Amino acid sequence: MTASPTLEELPVTRPGAESFDPELGWTLHSQVSVRPEPFGALLYHFGNRRLSFLKERLLLEVVQVLGEHDSARAAYVAAGVPAADWPRYDTALTALVASEILTPARTPSSKEST
């Protein structure tokens, strides 16, 4: 037989990826599939074949509405994230940008979105 794996590789942050700016618009990478779970969500990136986890349902809501808003901040407000939690959400979204799960919504200024 040809051995097939059990559970594959977990995510690694790629150096040199976009850096997160909460004032800009962001959206889910087109090759990312999101599966809601009781603890939050599982995300699978078909491009780099990596699995990530969201550990809160509210973060899932933010990720789901992100593309509809001009900035991440606006998405926080729409999803009802308390302002006191914004720094935590900034940290989480920074990690998601670094894993290429989130990409810039529309090429702002000189940045290329691929």
Partner 1 sequence: MTLTATPTPAKGLVGHFERGLDAPICLTWELTYACNLSCVHCLSSSGRRDPRELSTAEAKVVIDELERMQVFYVNIGGGEPTVRPDFWELMDYATAHHVGVKFSTNGVHINADIAARLAGSDYVDVQISLDGATAEVNDAVRGPGSFDTAMRAMANLADAGFRGFKVSVVCTRANIPQLDQFKAITDRFGAQLRLTRLRPSGRGADTWDELHPLPEQQRQLYDWLVAHGEGVLTGDSFFHLSAYGQSMPGLNLCGAGRVVCLIDPVGDVYACPFAIHEEFLAGNVRDTGGFQAVWRSSDLFADLRAPQDVGVCTTCNAFGTCRGGCMAAKFFTGLPLNGPDPECVKGYGADALLARGATGAMGAPKPSGDHSHRTSPREVGSRRPRPVPVMIGSGPRSRPVSACEDDPLAGFSPQIG
Query: Interface residues with partner 1 (CB under 8 A)?
Result: 1-13, 31, 33, 35, 37-40, 42, 44, 46-47, 49, 51-56, 59, 88-89, 91-92, 95-96, 99
CA 25 – CA 113 distance, rounded (Å):
12
CA 3 – CA 80 distance, rounded (Å):
46
| Cβ at position 54, least distance to partner 1 in Å | 6
CA 17 – CA 71 distance, rounded (Å):
19
| Cβ at position 61, least distance to partner 1 in Å | 12
| Cβ at position 8, least distance to partner 1 in Å | 6
CA 61 – CA 54 distance, rounded (Å):
10
